[in-house]
Chains A and B, each alone.
Chain A
Amino acid sequence: MPPEPDDTASSLGQHRLSWPDFDALARGKGGPDAIRRLRAAERSRRLLLMRALVDETTKSADMFYPLPSPELAWELLARAQQAAPSSVESILAHPYTGSWLGYTTRLYRQGVSGVCPLWVHIGHVHCLAAAAAIRAGITFEIEVPVWQGNVILPTLGLARLNAAQPASVATVRGQEGIAEVGQEESWVHVLGADPRWQPLRKAVLWTKDRRLSLRLDDVDPYRGLYEPRRPSRLTAFEIESWRTVLDRAWQLLVTHLPAVAEALPEGLESIVPAPAVPFRLPSASTGEAFGSAVIAYSEDPAALAAALVHEFQHIRLGGLLHLTRLHEDDDRERFYAPWRDDPRPLGGVVHGIYAFFGVTAFWRALSFAEPEDLPAAFEFALWRVQTWRTLQAIQNDNALTSSGRRLLAGIAEELAPWQDEPILPESLLWANRAIADHHIGWRIRHLRPDPGTVAGLAHAWRTGTPWPGRVPQHRKPTPIPDGNWPDARTDLIRLRLRDDSASTLPSKGPSVPGATSADIAFVAGRIGDAITGYRRELTADPDSPSALAGLALALSTWSTGPVPRALVRHPELVRAVHRLLRHDADASPEAVAGWIGQLTF
């Protein structure tokens, strides 16, 4: 640390970001320097929160007892910093230091406990201090919280103790980098071969001259999104599987998206491995854990590479949001976001646009490099349109700040020219069907037509009178879904394109969760069978969003007449009117759709 001349903050400035850096980030560029600036701001934010936490909780022993005051932890951190500044930097940069600070700040401000007693959460600062002291190699002794028999030393690993109570106190002591943690007569050597010590494991990836070092964190209690989590230790085999597929994903990124690969190691240092999900690769992150992503396991390196880019984009934007607001605080769930099944607030949509802008860039690069790669072309075709349409839907929203508009304008400049680039026809066809499918399903589940209009239409149907009104525009979406949405057809499309054949669908298709025989027939190209199947599904369950959307898609391949037109453009209205008429003779969903389709022509 340089000399510190005074004890006031008057000489300190604010974190800044130049417009060229901002604009580069908006375009998915900016390189490692821009990420380092975001990281520096995040470091200051965490220090401010930690200072606040120690200030507030030191005042009352109720908040930290039976541990000593958090002040002692701060003093140990300061000692570690003086001895080896990098020791504290590692702790401050640790993603879950950020999520712990956010979580615990919310708890103590509200005066509530979390999943364990408040003193355990507040006492995590002692764990951070112990880890920093071990890294610094100084002589120390400090008491730390034990939760469910576990003592976490962030960035290092976890010690298992035979603690009798759900929450208790242990001691960590160290000298010259050798440390142990324990209670009474039972001690575990840190960083040693003791099986009760569970070290964090890494994946260190090299491709060409690009290195990516990731911790595979399965122990830190603050590695989740919402609440502290217990350890979920991966086996050695699972760790090796992760390393293998990460290595192949990193090769793809370095080869096909080199600018992102240059910046990504500055912004992603930890992955929380999650179990594999059939035919999906869910991932998540939080703006509090800069540098981390929760990612499900996948054997598909391209899908994993896309997920890494996706989460890196969220991390970048999360960092940027600590510097400037892109939108007013507005949690109304009022937008269609094609990557989610539920309506999203403006902030979530901005995040999604930025993330899927990055995803689109990855698939675009891969499909250019591999011109016959049907899945890559499909993903490019799908996300370039979904991202573009969503951006257009929100770009003039009043809740955006001028920074938010500027960000979207930067994305748009990159994304717009991609809309017209040639794509393999088969991939384009299926992408357009997947786009329509998701939107129809979303409308059915989240738009509620005006009850007066629905009743008026049903009356007109029954009396054979003309409908004098116009079909109104839909109202605001509701976050409560009216029906389920398995999204199985898109999984089936990916399966078909991956195998480059429809012939494997009958055997593999049934393994897709939620897939019906009609779905399999549709994606296999047997449209007549699909229509028959969806009619049968609707007879059994006339409310089924997936069957109604499937029928809309299947009929649309044959006709642009009033039935598919109404099912595609006003599916929520068709279902709502049919609900009132379904016990009448001849009032099938298709008949109602055809009638509404004629009205709306």
Chain B
Amino acid sequence: MQAPRSGREAGIESELLDLGEVSLTRLRTLDSSEIRQAIRHAVERVSYISVTASSSGGAKRVD
């Protein structure tokens, strides 16, 4: 992940691969270190996505 520095940089470059132009048919067959890394990153981050609620009552998420 690129960290911001002075504000003159282009911006944030995420670790999310842009699949906007990729069909499902093609996505099913993509196989490269890049796609594997992107999948691994997305899967690993699911444990860190927050729930926000007005109150603290209720269940806890499976993590």
Report how far A521 CA is from B5 CA in the complex, Å: 55
Point out the residues of chain B lying under 8 angstroms from A17, CB to CB. Answer: 11-12, 14
B49 near A318 (CB under 8 angstroms)? yes
Task: Output the least CB separation between A244 and chain B (Å).
Answer: 23
A-B contact pairs, 10 of them (CB 8 A): A7-B31, A8-B30, A12-B34, A17-B11, A52-B39, A225-B59, A314-B52, A321-B50, A323-B12, A347-B50
A340 near B56 (CB under 8 angstroms)? yes
Residues of B within 8 A of A (CB): 1, 3-5, 7, 9-32, 34-35, 38-39, 42-43, 45-56, 58-63
A interface residues, tally (CB under 8 Å): 79
A9 near B17 (CB under 8 angstroms)? yes
Q: What 1/0 flags go to A54-91 for Cβ under 8 Å of B? A: 11000000000000000000100110011000001000
Report how far A213 CA is from B9 CA in the complex, Å: 37
Residue of A nearest to B11 (CB): A18
Say yes or no for A45: interface residue by CB 8 A criterion. yes
Which of A52, A55, A401 has most chain B Cβ within 10 Å? A52
Q: A14-B14, A110-B62, A226-B59 are in contact. Are A321 and B49 (CB under 8 A)?
A: yes
B18 near A9 (CB under 8 angstroms)? no
Residue of A nearest to B60 (CB): A226
Contact of A12 among B19, B49, B51, B62 (CB under 8 A): B19
Point out the residues of chain B lying under 8 angstroms from A300, CB to CB. Answer: none
A12 near B17 (CB under 8 angstroms)? yes
A351 near B20 (CB under 8 angstroms)? no
Report how far A530 CA is from B6 CA in the complex, Å: 55
Segment from A198-206, A278-286, A510-518, A548-556 that makes contact with B? A278-286
Point out the residues of chain B lying under 8 angstroms from A49, CB to CB. Answer: 39, 42-43, 46
Q: A15-B18, A19-B11, A52-B43 are in contact. Are A106 and B62 (CB under 8 A)?
A: yes
Q: Please report which residues of chain A, range 479-495, place their CB below 8 angstroms from some CB of chain B when the two chains form the complex.
A: none
Point out the residues of chain B lying under 8 angstroms from A322, CB to CB. Answer: 14, 16, 45
Say yes or no for A32: interface residue by CB 8 A criterion. no
A22 near B11 (CB under 8 angstroms)? yes
Contact of B54 among A7, A16, A52, A284 (CB under 8 A): A284
Contact of A9 among B23, B32, B63 (CB under 8 A): B32
Report how far A507 CA is from B32 CA in the complex, Å: 70
A8 near B16 (CB under 8 angstroms)? no
Residues of A within 8 A of B (CB): 1-2, 4, 7-10, 12-22, 40-41, 43-45, 47-49, 51-52, 54-55, 74, 77-78, 81-82, 88, 101-103, 105-107, 109-110, 112, 114, 225-227, 280-288, 314, 318, 321-325, 329, 339-342, 347-348, 351-352, 355, 401-403, 406
Residue of B nearest to A80 (CB): B24
B23 near A225 (CB under 8 angstroms)? no
A402 near B5 (CB under 8 angstroms)? yes
A351 near B25 (CB under 8 angstroms)? no
Task: Output the least CB separation between A112 and chain B (Å).
Answer: 7
A47 near B19 (CB under 8 angstroms)? yes
Report how far A287 CA is from B51 CA in the complex, Å: 6
B18 near A48 (CB under 8 angstroms)? no
Point out the residues of chain A lying under 8 angstroms from B25, CB to CB. Answer: 78, 81-82
Contact of B22 among A12, A114, A318 (CB under 8 A): A12
Task: Output the least CB separation between B62 and chain A (Å).
Answer: 5
A288 near B49 (CB under 8 angstroms)? yes
Point out the residues of chain A lying under 8 angstroms from B31, CB to CB. Answer: 7-8
A225 near B53 (CB under 8 angstroms)? yes
Task: Output the least CB separation between B21 and chain A (Å).
Answer: 6
Residue of B nearest to A354 (CB): B52
Report how far A322 CA is from B42 CA in the complex, Å: 9
Contact of A103 among B12, B32, B62 (CB under 8 A): B62
Report how far A537 CA is from B10 CA in the complex, Å: 61
B9 near A318 (CB under 8 angstroms)? no
Task: Output the least CB separation between B23 and chain A (Å).
Answer: 4
Report how far A55 CA is from B32 CA in the complex, Å: 14
A227 near B17 (CB under 8 angstroms)? no
Q: A9-B34, A226-B58, A347-B50 are in contact. Are A48 and B19 (CB under 8 A)?
A: yes
